[in-house]
Amino acid sequence: MTQLADKIGHYLILEKIAHGGMAEIYKSRTADPNGIERLVVIKRILPHISSHPEYIEMFVNEAKLAVHFTHGNIAQVYDLGRTGDDYFIVMEYVDGKTFGQIIRDFKDRAEMLPLDIVLFCIAEICRGLDYIHRKTDSQGRELKVVHRDISPQNIILSYSGNVKIIDFGVAKSLDRIIQTESGVLKGKFAYMSPEQADGGAIDRRSDIFSAGILLWEFLTLKRLFKRNTNPETVKAVKAARIEPPSRYRAGVSKELDRIVTRALQKKRGKRYEFASQMADDLDRLLHIVNPNFKPSLVTKFLYGYFGPEADEEGLPPEFPEMTVSKIKKVRTLSDEIEEDILEEITNEERTEKERLKSIRKKLFENVSFGFFDHLSLWFKIPLILGVLFILFSSFFMGVSWFSRGYLKITVSPPKSRVYINEKPLMSTQKNLGFYELSLFSGETITLRVELTGYDTYETALVLAHREKREMMVHLDKAINPP
């Protein structure tokens, strides 16, 4: 196991708790000049990413944006730092459970979440969203921030009864263009709004749609849009066909169906205009469902189901914290992708190994038997040496005459044109913008995605031996289209 550095800046590293596609997450401790200690979380950009200015800029923009948020439903960002070539963000540490963990746990128990807890949690999310949507700069101008990644992994319910939104890594202020990884689709497919999945312009109502997905899934413990593949999921999101949650759960009132349906309207003009409106509707319904509800019931709920894990650090319940080992992962877009394709990759890897083993076996059999007996010594010697070289390079040098990498690309808008080494690709699934191809490893490949009226995305990449890589490319609309 790799030994952790003792410190990042003046923050003492306690343990590594997550490793995503762009950054590492550490549980850390710091102390003020008076010796008062507190736990924090450090999000450090990965060393091999640091050489790419666009990633650095996205990382810095996340911190610059989030550091201005001070709200009870937003995990606080304290600091942006740099040590050498390492950039890092220091965040509030929240002791609790992600929505993703809670949903999985209740599915395993075959129990439904208490209705009043669901209403309270989603209302709190909406309050946090309303805060960031209405946030202004020092001149009083609206920043028009959109989170763009409201998903179960980015919402934490703390043991002190607070609901916290985390990870503004893909948030965007619509008043300015952030020149960062402009071609990469930002957000998790199953929690996007139709306009986000379609590559169109988005505003605060996109986050409201995502909150509606969370409400539907918290009520039913089912996945609303998740399908077997990313393209199928995107297609389902764009279609936005919704069945009311009352179909899947007894006791869901017509009023609650109405709230869910309004948040999940395909046309954003029919959704709630502001997240606070959705929060108000949920609050009114909450006090009908449980007139005696109070936030302390959330603490009792979480302790009742997950209590033994709380306060392992010996801290008082009110101590502000962020995700630690209880939150098994602070997840990013790459984590969601890895989870979706892990089994597929494992099967492909096994198939590839078996294929190479079969090829080697057949080569050996062909050389050892049959026609081999009829060859003269002058033909046998170079043939044997050639076969031995192939086997040696395959087994011991990590090189294979059959060495290839595998690339999957999902593009948005789906009608975008895709080129590999200036050669156009044909989509493997009609009108879904999904491509699969096998390429020689070790070679530099140029990828270009373009569509009239949109900014072109272009990059160079090299696939390692047997590497399986998946890319999501999202084109932003051009400001001044030709």
The CA distance from 278 to 466, in Å, is 48
Can you list the positions of beta strands (E) in 21-61? 23-31, 37-45
- In sequence order, the 6+-apart residues with CB closer than 8 A to the CB of 254 are 246
CA–CA distance, 449 with 427 (Å, rounded to integer): 13
CA nearest 37: which of 280, 308, 315?
Answer: 315
d(CA 197, CA 455): 16
Q: How far apart are CA 17 and CA 322, in angstroms?
A: 11
Query: Collapsing DSSP states into helix, strand and coil, what is residue 39?
Result: strand
- The answer to whether the CB of 302 falls within 8 A of the CB of 98 is no
Catalytic residue among 149, 207, 281, 340: 149
Helix, strand or coil, per DSSP, at residue 75: coil
End-to-end CA distance of the chain: give it in Å, rounded.
Answer: 53
Q: How far apart are CA 325 and CA 96, in angstroms?
A: 10
Strand (E) positions, 366-443?
A: 404-412, 417-420, 423-424, 434-440
Please confirm, yes or no, whether 207 is among the known catalytic residues: no
- The structure tokens listed for 412 are 């948005």
Pairwise CA distance, residues 379 & 36, whole Å: 80
The distance of Cα 201 from the centroid of its chain, to the nearest Å, equals 20
DSSP 302-356: HHHHHGGGTTTT---TTS-----TTS-----HHHHHHHHHHHHHHHHHHHHHHHH
d(CA 183, CA 472): 8
Q: Are 434 and 230 in contact (CB under 8 A)?
A: yes
Q: Do residues 331 and 17 touch, judged by C-beta distance below 8 A?
A: no
Please check whether residue 445 is in contact with residue 463, taking contact to mean a CB–CB distance below 8 angstroms: yes
Residue 171 DSSP code: -
Give the strand order in the sheet containing 468-474.
Answer: 434-440, 404-412, 468-474
- What is the C-alpha separation between 453 and 318, in angstroms, rounded? 51
List residues with catalytic annotation: 149
